[in-house]
Amino acid sequence: MIDKTAHSLEEVLAQISDGARIMIGGFGTAGQPAGLIDGLIERGVKDLVIINNNAGNGDHGLAKLLKTGAVRKIICSFPRQSDSWVFDELYRAGKIELELVPQGNLACRIQAAGMGLGAVFTPTGFGTLLAEGKETRNIDGKDYVLEYPIKADFALIKAHKGDRWGNLVYRKAARNFGPIMATAADITIAEVSEVVELGGLDPENIITPGIFVQHVVQIKEEGRA
């Protein structure tokens, strides 16, 4: 019987070790798997490479992980906003490495990994510092930059509901990067607000099929999921 529901948060995160390359879903705090991040902090792993759209907000979630010094490098598209003081301090002190990727390219490169593509040509970044040292090509009169897929050992994502097969549905804008990250990692761990019985999810509304998910962890939280 297929049952991907985790018995404990500690057990499912035990497979993550030092030096892991981890995708973390979320657009700012929307769809950020805060429960999984807190569990990762408890693990005490270090030298991590994190792939996320942002670089943390305030002092919680991803920012809280950065504050522990566990992250060696972050790959993201939007590292600075009004409440990104944790990342800002670390970066200015030379304590974290940043790979800046335009948001569309970030999504495209993650999708390329999930689709098994070798690389993609994109016009974004051509003629800028972001294209330095990269292969370029003119295709049908337009200039492009060659970008390679972004893969990860683990994807930590948040969904609204899931079943024991790993099928997931999301809540509104909290969907964001979760579905594509689930396809681009060796192991996907999904934090959900509720695990429902098989058949409890309308097949027409399932966004991430269970084939892309290895573990489902139910984490209750106050307020909306």
Q: How confident is the model at residue 221 (pLDDT cuts 50, 70, 90)?
A: low
**Residues whose CB is less than 8 angstroms from the CB of residue 128 and which lie 6 or more positions away in sequence, other chains included:** none
Calculate the alpha carbon distances from 41 to 7, 38, 46 in Å.
19, 5, 9
Q: How confident is the model at residue 77 (pLDDT cuts 50, 70, 90)?
A: very high
Rounded distance, CA 107 to CA 149, Å?
10
Reading the block at residue 186, the tokens are 């060796």
Going by C-alpha positions, the residue among 69, 68, 150, 136 that lies closest to residue 106 is 150
The chain-wide mean pLDDT, for the chain, equals 95
pLDDT in tens, 86-117: 999 999 999 999 999 999 999 999 999 999 99
Q: 50 - beta bridge partners? A: 22, 74
**Is residue 191 a contact partner of residue 26, using CB atoms and an 8 Å limit?**
no
pLDDT in tens, 22-35: 999 999 999 999 99
Average pLDDT over residues 198-208: 96
Task: Output the pLDDT for position 81.
Answer: 83
Calculate the alpha carbon distances from 218 to 37, 110, 164, 222, 225 in Å.
14, 26, 11, 13, 11
Q: Is 91 helix (H, G, I), strand (E, B) or coil?
A: helix
What percent of the chain stands above pLDDT 90? 95
Rounded distance, CA 190 to CA 218, Å?
8
Average pLDDT over residues 4-10: 93
